[in-house]
């Protein structure tokens, strides 16, 4: 698994424990049972797919996934500066191209992600002087260029990979997308219906739903170690939002 996938897997495990703890609250909500069963099945499939890839020694695929994460991180940073500049200057066409979402980028096939990154790099180069005021330095643009080159090389390296490994890697990516869909479109919406009746439940869900960065990804901030304050006995420190 990549760092981002490991962080999400940690969040999935927290949700599993949370819903198990609050089983009595969830029991009357019949729509939840099917979603939760499907979610648990996906967790097992994710672990199985990860084991399959590891046993096959898919070093090239791990490199490709890591290159993809690095590219998405710097791509979002550069695009954000472009979007801010374009918004200020009323360049709506540039703003539209530069307004990117991590979830969309993660779902793009490798070739399409490469094309998206090339487009942002060209725009960043064109407006390099202007976007420097938006914390997009020449070094960041160079980092984006390097990330694109590294990602393209990683894609080519996977072309000769073993077919069984390819299947495992594609399966992992698809499984995480399916699990994310259940969390965002099923769990999140169902839990919102309980916000008024079960405030403690809702608060604990939000904590379980957060992604803790346990591996150094640039997408989410490191989760602080909870500590009880002497005065209040409450837990200090709030992890980064998903």
Work out the pLDDT band at 217, boundaries 50, 70, 90.
Answer: very low
Q: What does DSSP assign to residue 213? A: B
pLDDT the model gives residue 225: 41
* 20 burial type by CB count under 10 A (0-12 exposed, 13-18 middle, 19+ buried): exposed
Torsion-angle region of residue 57: left (phi > 0), alpha (psi -120 to 50) or beta?
A: left
pTM of the model: 0.57
Does the pLDDT of residue 226 top 60, yes or no?
A: no
pLDDT the model gives residue 103: 81
More confident residue, 54 or 9: 9
In tens, the pLDDT along 185-197 reads 999 999 999 999 9
Work out the pLDDT band at 50, boundaries 50, 70, 90.
Answer: confident
% of the chain beyond a pLDDT of 70: 78
In tens, the pLDDT along 132-185 reads 999 999 999 999 999 999 999 988 877 655 555 556 656 788 899 999 999 999
Nearest in space to 194 (alpha carbons), one of 37, 20, 25, 17 = 25
Contact between 73 and 100 under an 8 Å Cβ cutoff? The reply is no
Q: What does DSSP assign to residue 2? A: -
Q: What does DSSP assign to residue 214? A: S
Lowest mean pLDDT among 67-71, 203-207, 237-241: 237-241
In tens, the pLDDT along 14-44 reads 999 999 999 999 999 999 999 999 999 999 9
């Amino acid at each position: 698994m990549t760092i981002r996938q490991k962080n999400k897997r940690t969040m999935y495990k927290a949700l599993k424990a949370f819903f198990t703890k609050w089983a009595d609250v969830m029991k009357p909500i019949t729509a939840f049972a099917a979603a939760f069963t499907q979610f648990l099945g996906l967790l097992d499939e994710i672990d199985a797919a990860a084991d399959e890839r590891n046993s096959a020694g898919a070093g090239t695929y791990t490199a490709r996934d890591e290159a993809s994460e690095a590219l998405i991180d710097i791509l979002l940073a550069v695009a954000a500066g472009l979007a801010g500049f374009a918004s200020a200057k009323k360049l709506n066409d540039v703003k539209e191209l530069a307004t990117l979402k991590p979830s969309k980028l993660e779902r793009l096939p490798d070739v399409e992600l490469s094309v998206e990154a090339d487009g942002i790099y060209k725009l960043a180069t064109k407006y390099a002087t202007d976007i420097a005021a938006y914390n997009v330095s020449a070094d960041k643009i160079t980092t984006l260029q390097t990330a694109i080159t590294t990602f393209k090389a990683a894609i080519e390296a996977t072309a000769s990979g073993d077919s069984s490994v390819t299947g495992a890697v594609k399966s992992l990516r698809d499984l995480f997308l399916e699990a994310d869909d259940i969390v965002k479109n099923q769990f999140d919406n169902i839990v919102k219906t309980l916000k008024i009746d079960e405030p403690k439940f809702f608060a604990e869900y939000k904590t379980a739903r957060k992604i803790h960065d346990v591996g150094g990804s640039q997408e989410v901030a490191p989760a602080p170690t909870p500590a009880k304050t002497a005065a209040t006995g409450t837990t200090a420190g709030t992890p980064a939002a998903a």
